[in-house]
């Protein structure tokens, strides 16, 4: 389902509000690969995918911004995803009580497990993170994307 231009939220303004809410609340591992620029990019992509997929846009963007907040290095694996969800939970309850904390934490905790999903929010985050793999010199594979929206983005952007 595609939203009309007038119905599409201002993702950049939403990202600014989300980022401002977390300033001073978290310390991020700030590398060139997984630093703030990556978090911003994933948040915006997750918002775009959510808008096209019918997931909650704000929840997707918050998940995108927090998905690596537990990361301590650039190594692979999914432990950082679980740690990120644990760190995110109290902040979500405090700063974003109107969004579904359990759904956002589920999306964050599973974003590195190597599996596609039918869950719209988790799929938006999973796909947004996958769409940024080119920065690591990796090829983005369409068969490893969860949402039709991300698959279309991949075709359009030739990421």
pLDDT tens digit sequence for 25-47: 776 656 665 667 888 999 999 99
Rounded distance between C-alpha atoms, residue 129 and residue 44, angstroms: 10
Q: What is the mean pLDDT of the chain?
A: 84
Q: Which CATH number does 11-157 carry? A: 1.10.3210.10
Q: Give 77's pLDDT tier (boundaries 50, 70, 90).
A: low
Lowest pLDDT segment from 12-16, 33-37, 53-57: 33-37
pLDDT in the model for residue 69: 80
Instruction: Find the mean pLDDT for residues 53-75.
Output: 86
Helix (H) or strand (E) holding 130: helix 120-130
Rounded distance between C-alpha atoms, residue 88 and residue 134, angstroms: 26
* pTM summary value: 0.84
Q: Over 90: is that where the pLDDT of 61 sits? A: yes
pLDDT in the model for residue 17: 92
Residue spans per domain, the chain = 11-157
**DSSP of 18-55:** HHHHHTTT------TTTSHHHHHHHHHHHHHHHHHHTS
pLDDT in the model for residue 2: 44
pLDDT in the model for residue 86: 93
pLDDT in the model for residue 51: 96
């Amino acid at each position: 389902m595609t939203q009309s231009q007038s119905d599409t939220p201002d993702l950049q303004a939403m990202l600014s509000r989300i980022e401002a809410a977390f300033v001073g609340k978290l310390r991020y591992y700030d590398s060139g690969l997984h630093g703030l620029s990556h978090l911003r990019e994933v948040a915006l992509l997750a918002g775009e995918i959510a808008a096209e997929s019918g997931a909650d846009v704000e929840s997707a963007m918050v998940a995108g911004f927090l998905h690596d907040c537990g990361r301590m290095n650039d190594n692979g694996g999914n432990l950082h995803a679980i740690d990120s969800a644990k760190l995110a939970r109290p902040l979500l309850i405090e700063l974003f009580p109107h969004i579904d904390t359990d759904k956002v934490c589920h999306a964050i905790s599973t974003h590195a497990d190597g599996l596609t999903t039918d869950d719209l929010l988790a799929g938006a985050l999973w796909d947004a993170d996958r769409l940024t793999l080119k920065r690591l010199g990796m090829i983005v594979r369409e068969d490893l994307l969860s949402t039709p929206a991300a698959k279309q983005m991949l075709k359009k952007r030739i990421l």
